[in-house]
Structure 1
Amino acid sequence: MEIIFTKDSDYKKKWNDFVLNNDRGSHLLLTDWLQSYKNYGFDYELCLAIENEEIIAGYGAVIAKFLFFKFYIIPYGPIDKTANGGVLKLLIDAIAVRAKKIKACYCQFNFPMSSNASFSNHYYQSIDETLFKNYKKGNLFKFVYSSNGLNWIDLKKYTTEEEILIDFKSTVRRDIRSALRKEQEIKFLTAETDIKQAYDLCLENAKNGNYSLRDWASFKETILKLVQNDKAKFIAAYKDNEIKGAIFLVKSGNYYSYILGGTKKEKPDLLTGHLLQWEAIKLSFNENLDGYNISLGGSDGVKEFKSNFNTTAVDYIDTKYFVVINAIIFKFFLFFEEKVRPLKKNIAKILSVLKK
């Protein structure tokens, strides 16, 4: 077995296949997702454990850099096929060594681990804590997103779509059936103009809901590549040829994850949000995937909406670890961040301006 650091196109394809088909995979590890940070001047690389020319484990790292600051951030993982502690230890130890070699002042990784045994083939449940002995627990660099868990709809226990529907709360069943009667047309978008229109609706929802979302220019290449490579779906609902709602899903680990969405707020309510999530669930079921991750988080209303789909929340616990490699530079970064953050609404804009 050997460990390599690479951006070779053949290995990128193998890695993406590994992430898509490995139950512990996450969309955060797909190369198209890792590359999305290039708009902020960041780079990325893959660290792979190779045996008999096949990938048996690995991680994807975002190399965040601006001015003289550099950070080595693993948003999810490392992951492997068999929970092999020996391979995981080699990869985890390699993180700090690699970060020091590329002259990063700080490194961090997010190891997906939970005490919930229900769907533990999609994360780690029991791992030797000595694997992390050279790291501290914490998340001091917050500008690369890392997952906090799954909001899981188990689909393996059903044999028909109707069985899934019956298992939802009565209010959800009613709203889905009502939405289906409202004659909304569902489309799986592939054209850039259609996807942009759908994303603009999501941006409008984000603005009205007072939460942040990447602007189209910085995210469009990622979305289009994922859709074109059949790693993602942008699903939209229309009535009378007018868009009423849209959701964006990305596949990995034998499931789709809900990434973002938005609906028109109108009266009478077309219940488009219910309809689109039902389409996402049906898509996952018909592709014979393990489940659907409707995602954690959101406002209280959004959380309640999601929970009505018979979800099981799986929270990752004590999963973020770090090492400060150059204490002086990192302390300066923390000072810089504290002073600059209040001056700008979106830190991504700062990073974009300061990028090399």
Structure 2
Amino acid sequence: MNIFHTKDKKWFKKWDEFNQSQLLGNHLQDPTWLSSYKAYGFDLDLVLCISDDKEILGGYLAVIARKSIFKFYIIPQGPIVSKEVETDVFKKILNFAIKRSKVLKSTALQVSIPFSNHPKIKDFTFQTDLKNKVPYKFKLGKIFKYVYAGYGMNWVDLEKFNDFEEYLLTLKAQVRRNIRLSYRKNSYTNTFGKNNDFRLSDIYKLIELNASENNYSVKSYSSLKKPFNFLLRKDKLICNYTVLNDKIVSTGFTIDTNNYQVYLFGGTMRLKPDTKAGYSIHSENIKLSISKGYKGYNISMGGSKGVKDFKSKFGAEEIYFVEPDYHIIHNNLLYISFKVADRFLKKYKTKVSKWIS
């Protein structure tokens, strides 16, 4: 058994394949998706644990978030470890992360570990009894929030359905009507890559427009263009959009992890009369999930109260990981300085988001 860090493209490719092959695999360990952070001057650090036969047993992909004198070593959702060697490898990888982040002179190390015994998502998480394997040096809690970290799954359970119509029958009558209305009142819903009539940048503009109108920040399209194209070529990105009178009125970007789909973000125009355009975006994802035999659809955590209420209409259940966030501060003086600077930067949130989103 050997644990090491690498920049070798060959190992990045193998990690991508390993991530897709494991039930613990997730988009926050996908090298293509995390590469979007490079547009902001951040770097990636791949750490692998391999057998004597050079087979990957586990590992993680960390984001090295650096600005000015501050450097944070962030594992967004991991590590990922083969179930067969979970007990042996889990702690060793975390101990390696401590040493590795020190070598890189990081201000602090942060890792978000998906612990849960919830019956609906337990196949895709570590069981909570593995918490006793987390090295004692770690403290609970999140100290750096500018790299998105997994904290739960907003799960639409699909395990018992053979087709979309069966699923529809479990929803409230009003929701069923809204889904059908979405298909009837809008011109059509399409998936990018099938008879494209819009550019990907055109589809993303609606997300940027929604963010601007509601005063929140999103990643720039320029930072996502390359990852989007790579993910599309690998059939891992699903981009649905709904059109009314030759105009995009709703859109959604989703990643297929090979075990389930996870919705990333989307946007919908406010129309009068309301054509319920957003309903068809998630309906298309759910149809595809059922056809692939996936146990569920992760419609994503978070959002405003209105967004959360909308997601719940599809039967989604917010399932939080059990105390997922751990950290170690390597340089107390720098960390205190960062906290002071962070309070100042919050006053200029929009400008700051250009390098921390």
* TM-score normalised by the chain length of structure 2: 0.93
Amino acid at match of 1:27: H
CA offsets, 1:168-192, max 9 Å, x none? 2222111111222225322221479
User: Structure 1 residue 20: deviation in Å?
Assistant: 2.0
**Aligned residue for 1:61?**
62
Distance 1:325 1:266 in 2: 51
**Aligned residue for 1:166?**
169
Indicate how the Cα distance of structure 1 residues 242 and 351 shifts in structure 2: closer, same or farther if over 3 A, else same: closer
**Aligned residue for 1:296?**
301
* C-alpha contact (below 8 Å) 1:66/1:351 kept by paired residues: no
Distance 1:348 1:209 in 2: 15
Amino acid at match of 2:300: S
* C-alpha contact (below 8 Å) 2:217/2:350 kept by paired residues: no
Distance 1:128 1:148 in 2: 17
User: Structure 1 residue 119: deviation in Å?
Assistant: 2.1
User: Structure 1 residue 325: deviation in Å?
Assistant: 0.8
* C-alpha contact (below 8 Å) 1:237/1:276 kept by paired residues: yes
Which of 169, 180, 184 is the equivalent residue of 2:183? 180
Indicate how the Cα distance of structure 1 residues 26 and 350 shifts in structure 2: closer, same or farther if over 3 A, else same: closer
Alignment partner of 1:128: what SS? Answer: helix
Alignment partner of 2:58: what SS? Answer: strand
User: Structure 1 residue 63: deviation in Å?
Assistant: 0.9
**Aligned residue for 1:144?**
147
1:281 aligns with 2:286: yes
% identical aligned pairs: 35
1:324 aligns with 2:335: no
Amino acid at match of 1:126: T
Amino acid at match of 2:211: A
1:5 aligns with 2:22: no
* C-alpha contact (below 8 Å) 2:163/2:291 kept by paired residues: no
Q: 1:325-340 residue pairs with structure 2 within 5 A?
A: 325-340=330-345
User: Structure 1 residue 268: deviation in Å?
Assistant: 1.8
User: Structure 1 residue 129: deviation in Å?
Assistant: 2.9
The number of residues matched between the two structures is 352
User: Structure 1 residue 126: deviation in Å?
Assistant: 2.5
* C-alpha contact (below 8 Å) 1:257/1:294 kept by paired residues: yes
Distance 2:169 2:73 in 1: 46
Comparing 36-45 with 64-73, greater Cα deviation is found at 64-73
CA offsets, 1:27-70, max 9 Å, x none? 01100122111111110021111122222211110011122222
CA offsets, 1:89-135, max 9 Å, x none? 00111111100111112111000012423320011223333322120
* C-alpha contact (below 8 Å) 2:186/2:275 kept by paired residues: no
* C-alpha contact (below 8 Å) 1:92/1:131 kept by paired residues: no
**Aligned residue for 2:38?**
38
RMSD: 1.9
* C-alpha contact (below 8 Å) 2:59/2:81 kept by paired residues: yes
1:134 aligns with 2:134: no
Amino acid at match of 2:243: Y
* TM-score normalised by the chain length of structure 1: 0.93
**Aligned residue for 2:245?**
240
User: Structure 1 residue 10: deviation in Å?
Assistant: 1.9
User: Structure 1 residue 323: deviation in Å?
Assistant: 0.5
**Aligned residue for 1:74?**
75
Distance 2:128 2:210 in 1: 40
* C-alpha contact (below 8 Å) 1:122/1:253 kept by paired residues: no
Q: 1:81-92 residue pairs with structure 2 within 5 A?
A: 81-82=82-83, 84-92=86-94
Gaps of 5+ in 1: none
Distance 1:204 1:91 in 2: 42
Distance 2:346 2:245 in 1: 44
Which of 335, 339, 346 is the equivalent residue of 1:341? 346
Distance 2:127 2:5 in 1: 27
**Aligned residue for 1:93?**
95
User: Structure 1 residue 256: deviation in Å?
Assistant: 0.8
1:156 aligns with 2:132: no
Amino acid at match of 1:92: L
Distance 1:253 1:112 in 2: 18
Amino acid at match of 1:151: N
Alignment partner of 2:99: what SS? Answer: helix
* C-alpha contact (below 8 Å) 1:24/1:253 kept by paired residues: no
Amino acid at match of 1:235: N
Amino acid at match of 2:75: I
Alignment partner of 1:84: what SS? Answer: helix
Alignment partner of 2:129: what SS? Answer: coil
Distance 1:344 1:186 in 2: 35
